Amino acid sequence: MKARLDGAELGYGAATVLRDVSLTLQEGERVVLLGPSGAGKTTLLAAIHAQLIARDERVALVPQDHGLVPQMSLRRNVYMGRLDDHGAVRNLARLIYLPRGLRDQIAAVLAPLGLSDHATSPVEALSGGQRQRTALARALFRGGGMLIADEPVSAVDAMQAAEIMALLSARFTTAMIALHDVALARSFATRIIGLRDGRIRFDAAADRVTDAQIARLYG
């Protein structure tokens, strides 16, 4: 078991967004959260992330807003995924000079994402889709077994999205991802959780969730 919520009320500050949430995340599961915006997907991801962090799990995170530093180069933004592996002195040195070995490792992450040409561009000079792929590159560079991602392919085209999702399922054994593309969700997930109006509407293995169930989430 990786994480568990038992009748939890989740929200920001005093406002409750999700009520009566019970779920358990097992090792090896790829969970996709579906539901209209405002349903509470981000809140649920944040709660699971906090729990994993509290247990010292190594989690790769792709927040919805990416959390990139616009003024810094793409390459260094990717390096930031491993800041906690090193002390301040080494990180400071790498801010000034990134050694060859690391540059190659980062380049290996950038290539399948189609970012190789932009390694040294500042993030603020990139397009929306490129920024999103930079955030994904950071998560891939961080590595580990666990991925939490909030709409990680919302700004890339359908072809690329499918490739990226395949890449993610190859690299991370366990994942919880919020998506809005139902077809993509079906091809990626082992389990799908449907959310609407602050409640879990269904939670089942991906092949047992019907199209009608999903349609009711958005209807």
DSSP per-residue codes, 141-193? HH-SSEEEEESTTTTS-HHHHHHHHHHHHHH-SEEEEE-S-HHHHHHH-SEEE
Cα distance between residue 205 and residue 16, in whole Å: 27
Strand, coil or helix: 2: coil
Whether the CB-CB separation of 176 and 48 falls below 8 Å is answered with: yes
| CA angle 130–123–180, rounded 5-degree value | 40
Nearer to other proteins, 117 or 124 (CB): 124
Stretch that binds other proteins, among 60-68, 151-159, 165-173, 189-197 (CB under 8 A): 60-68
**CA distances for 141 relative to 83, 150, 165, 208, angstroms:** 11, 17, 16, 34
Is residue 118 a contact residue for other proteins (CB under 8 A)?
no
Q: List binders of other proteins among 127-146 (CB under 8 A).
A: 135, 142
Q: Which is nearer to other proteins, 58 or 208 (CB)?
A: 58
DSSP character at residue 26:
-
Indicate the residue among 28 and 70 with the shorter CB distance to other proteins: 70
Site for other proteins (CB under 8 A): which residue of 7, 14, 71, 97?
Answer: 71
Of the two residues 78 and 195, which places its CB atom closer to other proteins in the complex? 78
Minimum distance between the CB of residue 34 and other proteins, rounded to whole angstroms?
24
How far apart are the C-alpha atoms of 140 and 56, rounded to whole Å? 18
Q: Which is nearer to other proteins, 82 or 180 (by Cβ)? A: 82
- Span 73-102, contacts to other proteins by CB under 8 A: 76, 80-84, 86-88, 91-92, 95
How far is it, in rounded angstroms, from Cα 217 to Cα 206? 15
Q: Which is nearer to other proteins, 38 or 70 (CB)?
A: 70
Residues that bind other proteins (CB under 8 A): 53, 61, 63, 65-72, 76, 80-84, 86-88, 91-92, 95, 135, 142
